[in-house]
Amino acid sequence: MELADKTVGFLLSVISLSIFTYYTFWVVILPFVDGDHFIHKYFLPQEYAILIPVFAGVTLLSLISAFIGYVMLKSKKKKKRA
């Protein structure tokens, strides 16, 4: 149990750090690199740096709202039965 928690924590840290490094490199450093440099092959065009986070945020918000609505509906039903 303890080891599983530690592994999950380590994985979360690694994921967040790698996302942050990749995104920082993509957004902050890449505009200063020449357009025909080979490193541009490893990154999507700059528009996607805005589109992907917005899309992910909207998806996350909708999922959270759906979950909250589901929980509220369920608790209401339980209250009626009692």
Q: Which residues bind another protein (CB under 8 A)?
A: 2, 5-6, 8-17, 19-20, 23-24, 27-28, 46-47, 49-50, 53-54, 57
- Tell me how far, at minimum, the Cβ of 13 lies from another protein, in Å: 3
Q: How far is the CB of 81 from another protein (least distance, A)?
A: 30
- Closest to another protein by CB, 43 or 49: 49
CA quadruple 43, 48, 50, 55: dihedral sign: negative
Nearer to another protein, 12 or 68 (CB): 12
Q: Give the residue from 22, 70, 71 showing the smallest Cα distance to 43.
A: 22
Taking a C-beta distance cutoff of 8 angstroms, is the pair 62, 49 a contact? no
Q: Which is nearer to another protein, 35 or 82 (CB)?
A: 35
Angle, vertex CA 12, rays to CA 10 and CA 14, nearest 5: 70
